[in-house]
């Protein structure tokens, strides 16, 4: 029989009942190697069966930019605040893609990894965090594409410039990541009981894009709808992103502060709901 005095010698203690606010951040750090393993798995498994591989990082934003330029810029004649159309749409697409990828992929974490969660213990937040980190690779490649396009149009003498907002760039990336993460955590927790949500996520994200200043500047929004569009936290982030790199956009500390507060609230709510759902999701999924 084990001596009671030796019960504290265990390296890991798994408890069945914990507080909703016991977020186990120490465990996340302890399992950081697993985080990077999942990041590598996501990258390799997604592209190893494709012919073009990582070139899809470039192909998707290039074709989307071309379509947006033709439809919204040429046919619809929507203003781009005097910026070259390709730069305007590519900047919005680059920021939006990172947020939407974090949201959509996180929203199916429980469903996609039920077999793993049911067999072995590790902090469940590792999985959605790995999605956010792995998507940074794609975001970095698309950002490089944007910088190349900026260099090209700069040589042509187009009117745009990098502003002081570039110092806020790390904050913008963090806000996009955390907003996508928090929203995805809420959705994936709800899909354990309401499976229909999985079919609405992609459709809903597409609709949300049209409520954000991806294909039009905030200055061109009708006054009756401008306030509603500003309530979208991604609007302030994309406007700040465009202002930072291209010098056009309605950037303000108020809008950025609103986006930051909204993001933190959604993130904390998402973590709490995720923490509650992970205790018994195997029985319901």
- pLDDT exceeds cutoff 90 at 69: yes
pTM (2 d.p.): 0.84
At 202, the pLDDT band (50, 70, 90 cuts) reads confident
Q: How confident is the model at residue 231 (pLDDT cuts 50, 70, 90)?
A: very high
pLDDT of residue 4: 47
Question: Rounded to whole angstroms, how far apart are CA atoms 210 and 68?
Answer: 12
**In-domain check, residue 26:** no
Closest CA to 57 of 89, 101, 109, 88: 101
The alpha carbon torsion through 162, 158, 233, 220 (nearest 10 deg) reads: 140
More reliable by pLDDT, 117 or 190:
190
In a domain, 111, yes or no: yes
What is the structure's pLDDT at 88?
A: 95
Note the pLDDT of residue 206. Answer: 86
Q: Residue 109 domain-assigned?
A: yes
Determine the pLDDT at residue 232: 93
Within-domain flag for 22: no
Q: What is the Cα–Cα distance from 20 to 39, expressed in whole angstroms?
A: 27
Task: Give how many domains the chain has, as a whole number.
Answer: 1
**Residue 28 placed within a domain:** no
- Domain residues for the domain of 54 are 50-283
- CA 205 to chain centroid, in Å, comes to 11
Residue 11 belongs to a domain? no
Pair 122, 31: CB distance under 8 Å: yes
Q: What is the 3-class SS of 182-206, one letter each residue?
A: HHHHHHHHHCCCCCCHHHHHHHHHH
Domain membership of residue 236 (yes or no) is: yes
Q: Which of 6-10, 131-135, 252-256 has the lowest mean pLDDT?
A: 6-10
pLDDT, the chain, mean? 82
Question: Is residue 3 domain-resident?
Answer: no
């Amino acid at each position: 029989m084990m001596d009671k005095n030796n019960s504290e010698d265990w390296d890991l203690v798994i408890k069945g009942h914990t507080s909703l606010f016991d977020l186990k951040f120490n465990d996340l750090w302890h399992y950081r190697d697993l985080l990077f393993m999942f990041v590598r798995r996501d990258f390799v498994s997604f592209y190893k069966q494709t012919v073009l591989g990582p070139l899809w990082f470039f192909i998707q934003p290039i074709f989307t930019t071309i379509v947006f330029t033709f439809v919204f810029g040429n046919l619809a004649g929507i203003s781009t605040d005097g910026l070259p159309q390709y730069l305007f749409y590519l900047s919005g697409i680059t920021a939006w893609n990172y947020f939407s990828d974090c949201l959509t992929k996180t929203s199916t974490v429980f469903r996609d990894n039920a077999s793993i969660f049911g067999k072995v213990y590790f902090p469940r937040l590792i999985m959605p965090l790995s999605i956010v980190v792995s998507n940074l690779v794609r975001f970095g490649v698309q950002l490089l594409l944007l910088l190349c396009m900026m260099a090209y149009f700069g040589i042509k003498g187009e009117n745009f410039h990098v502003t002081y907002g570039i110092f806020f760039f790390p904050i913008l990336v963090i806000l996009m990541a955390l907003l996508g993460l928090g929203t995805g955590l809420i959705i994936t927790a709800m899909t354990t009981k309401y499976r229909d949500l999985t079919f609405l996520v992609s459709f809903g994200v597409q609709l949300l894009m049209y409520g954000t200043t991806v294909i039009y500047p905030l200055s061109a929004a009708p006054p009756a709808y401008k306030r509603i569009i500003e309530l979208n936290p991604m609007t302030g982030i994309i406007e700040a992103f465009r202002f930072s790199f291209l010098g056009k956009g309605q950037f303000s500390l108020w809008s950025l502060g609103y986006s930051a507060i909204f993001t933190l609230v959604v993130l904390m709510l998402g973590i709490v709901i995720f923490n509650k759902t992970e205790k018994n999701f195997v029985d319901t999924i």
